[in-house]
Structure 1
Amino acid sequence: MASTSSGRQTDARDRDSEGRARNARPRDGLGRPLPYGADGVARQPEGVVRTPQQTVAEAQELLNAGRPFHAHEVFEDAWKSGPDEERALWRGLAQLAVGLTHAARGNVTGGARLLRRGAGALEEWGASTVGRGKQSYGMDLAGLTGWARQLAQEVEQSGSAVDARARSPRLRG
C-alpha cells in the first residue's frame, strides 16, 4: 500500500481507469510474475483474432519454445473469439497448455488435474455431434488426449516438475 498526501492508504497495484488489474508485471517463460523492473518474456497480446490454422501454428511454436502459458493465451483467444460450437475444443486445448504450465512449475496436483480435464474436454468435443461434424484443423485429438493422460500419470508418479520444452505435445499428428 502507498500513502497519499492526506495519509490515506491506496492500492499500488497496476489498475486501469475502471479499477481492473492490468497485469503489467513482467513474467517468466512459464507465466510466473517477476519483480517490477526485471527482464521478462514478452507477453502474448490479448484479444487477437486468428484463423484456426494460425492459432494452431502459433500455439505449436510457443509449445516448442517451452512456453505453454503463452500457448494457453493463444488458445484462449480462439475460445473467446471463435464460433460458439468450437469453444469446447479451444477451451480443452487451453486446459492442456495450462496443465503443462503447472506441471513445469512443479504443481503436480494442479498440472495433472488440468491435463486430465483438457483431455476429457477434447474427448467430449470429438464425440459430440458438433465435434464429429467439424474438422479438427489437422490436430490429432486422440494423440493429444493420450499425451495428456500419460503426462498426468507421470507427473503424479514422479512428484516433480517437467521440462515444458521437452514434454510439449505435437498438435498435428
Structure 2
Amino acid sequence: MGSTSSGRPAGARDRDDEGRARNARPRDGLGRPLPYGAEGVERQPEGVVRTPEQSVAEAQELLDAGKPFHAHEVFEDAWKSGPEEERTLWRGLAQLAVGLTHAARGNVTGGARLLRRGAGAVQEWASVSGRAQPYGMDLTGLAGWARTVAEDVERDAGAVDAKARAPRLLA
C-alpha cells in the first residue's frame, strides 16, 4: 500500500485514540478542509468544558474574527456538556453559527435553512424556559438577526462576509 503526502498509508482514515473518525486536514477560517500540508487556521479544541459565560465570550470573539465555524464548535461543546434543560439553547446557537458559516461559504440554501432553524430553536427555548436573556444574551435579537441574514442571503444569492455580518450575542 502506498502513502499520501501526509505520511499516512493511502486509504487510511484519521482516527482519534478511541477509534472515532477525525479529519486532521488543515482548515481555512470557515472550517473548509485544505490539502494536507497547507497552512490552515488553528482548529478549535473539542470537548472543552466552559462556563456558559466563557462559552458566550469565546464564541463572540470568534464571530468577531470572522470564524463562525469555530464559534459553532464552542457552542457544540456547551450543548454536549451543559445541563439537559439548556441543550436546545446551545444547539440553536450552534445552528446560528454554522448557518452563518454556510452563508459565508456561499451555500445559500443551507445557510438560510440553518439560520432559520437556529432562530426557531432559541426562540422556542426562551419561550419554554421563560428566559429571554440567558447569560446576558438577547435571544429575541439573535433570532431577528438570523432571519434578516437568511433573507439577505436568499435575496442576494451570494456569500456574505462572516465578519461584517457577525451577530452581537450579548444584550
**TM-score, with length taken from structure 1:** 0.91
| Bigger mean CA deviation after superposition, 157-166 or 13-22 | 13-22
Q: Deviations over 1:52-109 (max 9, x none)?
A: 0000000000000000000000000000000000000000000000000000000000
Q: Distance in 2 between the 1:134 and 1:153 partners?
A: 23
Change (3 A) 1:60 1:17: closer
How big is each residue's C-alpha offset from its partner over 1:27-67, in whole Å with a ceiling of 9 and x where there is no partner? 00000000001000001100000000000000000000000
Match of 1:156 in 2: 154
Deviations 1:1-35 (A, max 9, x none): x449xxxx962232245542221100000000000
SS in structure 1 at match of 2:135 = coil
Summarize the alignment of residues 82-101 of structure 1 with structure 2, pairs less than 5 Å apart: 82-101=82-101
1:132 Cα offset (Å): 0.8
- Asked whether 1:140 is paired with 2:148, we answer no
CA RMSD of aligned residues (A): 1.7
Counterpart mapping for 1:31-110 below 5 A = 31-110=31-110
Amino acid in the other structure paired with 2:80? K
Q: How many residues align?
A: 166
Q: Percent identity?
A: 77
Q: Which runs of 4+ in 1 moved over 3 A?
A: 16-19
In 2, Cα distance between equivalents of 1:135 and 1:110? 27
The whole-number CA distance in structure 2 between the counterparts of 1:142 and 1:134 is 7
Counterpart contact for 2:103–2:110, Cα < 8 Å: yes
Q: Distance in 1 between matches of 2:15 and 2:46?
A: 16
Q: Distance in 1 between matches of 2:125 and 2:34?
A: 36
- Aligned equivalents of 1:134, 1:106: Cα separation in 2: 31
Q: Specify every segment of 5 or more residues in structure 2 that has no aligned partner in the other structure, as ranges.
A: 4-8
What letter matches 1:104 in structure 2? A
Q: Which moved more, 1:9-18 or 1:155-164?
A: 9-18
Task: From the superposition, tell whether residues 133 and 145 of structure 1 become closer, same or farther in structure 2 (CA, over 3 Å).
Answer: closer
Describe the superposition over 1:143-171 as per-residue Cα deviations: whole angstroms up to 9, x where unpaired: 00000001000100000000000000000
Q: 1:47 to 1:16 in 2, by over 3 A?
A: closer
Secondary structure of residue in 1 paired with 2:134: coil
**Rg comparison, structure with higher value:** 1
SS across alignment from 2:31: coil
